[in-house]
Amino acid sequence: TSERKSGSRALLTACAAGLAAAGYSFLPSQCGKLNHRLKKRTKSNTEKVLYLTFDDGPHPIYTAKLLDILAAYEIKATFFVVGRSAEENPELIRRMITEGHTVGLHSYEHRSAMVQTPSYTRRDFEKSIRALKDLGVEPVLYRPPWGHVNWITLRMIRKFGLTKVLWDVMVQDWTADSSEILLQYKLLKRARACSIICLHDGRGRRGAPLRMLEALEKTIPVWLEEGYRFRKLQDGKNRITLL
């Protein structure tokens, strides 16, 4: 009947749309995460080095406190900053550069690539690249929000000569129930030689970044006692130390 044919066409259309959406972002995102894990497994990571990375900033209060902590321990880290926040806090970007940290890109508005149109993805990259260059940063590293990419993301990464960086350790430090003790427990339990640790200094529920800072300040001395050293993910303009 005509109603049955119409229903079949609607189902086929929905299936086609779902496959297109999966091919556009979901599959590239999942393949990228799987590839990262496989690469780490095939390397002999025995050197006691940790890579501290921080997303979503800069924040006028939390990032300033974080920089104080890193300076106290003479630790160099990698900051994946949001372009809009960088424009609003230029003095913090300048401080990161002056104190020897690496500044990478984390989009302009922190929206998932899964819900971005191709034109929005292009504009976001162009605006964020321009924002950082205006602040004296030539970005080399890129971390996609939530690790999500789409086909245009991958094209823009190649266009601007960026290296995509994911993570090995995530401790859900943005959540409302991310207590200092729980965060410290997760960090010590999950970190291994050559782990890329992803923390968040720019946003979170109920002051979550402050609890992250408290946990980090207590965890760093333990890591140092265990013989760990800290590196940033980029030395010089183009030399990537990412393992």
Catalytically annotated residues: 55, 200
User: 233, 193, 186: which is closest to 44 by C-alpha?
Assistant: 193
DSSP-derived secondary structure for 34-58: HHHHHHHHHS---S-EEEEEEES--
Q: Which amino acid is at 201?
A: D
Q: Cβ(233)–Cβ(104) under 8 Å?
A: yes
**Dihedral sign computed on CA atoms, order 99, 101, 105, 110:** negative
Question: What is residue 147's DSSP assignment?
Answer: G
Q: How many CB atoms lie within 10 A of CB 125?
A: 23
| Token duo for residue 124 | 């976001």
Question: Position 209: which residue type?
Answer: P
Which residue type, as a one-letter code, is found at position 14?
Answer: A
Q: Is 170 left (phi over 0), alpha (psi -120 to 50) or beta?
A: beta
User: Using an 8 Å Cβ cutoff, are 101 and 70 in contact?
Assistant: yes
- Rounded to whole angstroms, the Cα distance separating 30 from 149 reads 9
